[in-house]
Chain A
């Protein structure tokens, strides 16, 4: 299982949600909110696949955040 902590000052929650929708079918996802971060956990039987999908999701969420002009 890989845990990604997207800091709220850097990543937009909408962007993380949208990225999760896109990558939903590639792995099993859990999401959680803390005071300072959007937490996403990725699980897949294949460890290499798990790492790749998690990294791609993080890239996608960052790209969407940047395109919308930032986290706020």
Chain B
């Protein structure tokens, strides 16, 4: 495993625990929650906030630890999971509007078909949608022969 940057992680083999400092700007709390939840059955997880914009995660082994390497593996796996969770969180944030729109459509569809009153009150005056690329045009409208000056249009 590659070396972990200095100052980021500290090992305590005697207490079978490893502490990792996490930058809140890089890893949001929701990502930290996600990674912690996965590790909660493997080790003891404690999250602290020593300063604004910084989290401190302490992972404690459930049993005794032979050497520092075991703790190094544990924190390495946690860091990988944290990165995955942070990336998933970012994707969710980026697609939030889309997810909400799809969900609203699904819920709207589940409400059933509109009543006659709803249809009677529906405002049909507006254009259904804009069609700047002419997608809704028929083939004849788009590619059909134009009636020339000398041609018989009938």
Q: Which residues of A contact B (CB under 8 A)?
A: 4-5, 7, 9-11, 55-56, 58-59, 62-63, 65-66, 70
Q: In the bound complex, what is the Cα–Cα distance between A16 and B49 (angstroms)?
A: 17
What 0/1 pattern do residues 30 to 45 of B give for CB contact below 8 A with A? Answer: 1001101100100011
Q: How many residue pairs between the two chains, A and B, have CB atoms under 8 Å in the bound complex?
A: 38
Q: Which residues of B contact A (CB under 8 A)?
A: 29-30, 33-34, 36-37, 40, 44-49, 55, 60
Q: Which residue of B lies closest to A4 (CB)?
A: B46
- Chain A residues contacting B45 (CB-CB under 8 Å) are 58-59, 62
Query: What would be 21 A-B contacts, judged by CB atoms less than 8 Å apart?
Result: A5-B48, A7-B47, A7-B48, A7-B49, A9-B29, A9-B49, A10-B29, A10-B48, A55-B44, A55-B46, A55-B60, A56-B44, A58-B44, A58-B45, A58-B46, A59-B40, A63-B37, A63-B40, A66-B36, A66-B37, A70-B30
- Chain A residues contacting B36 (CB-CB under 8 Å) are 62, 66
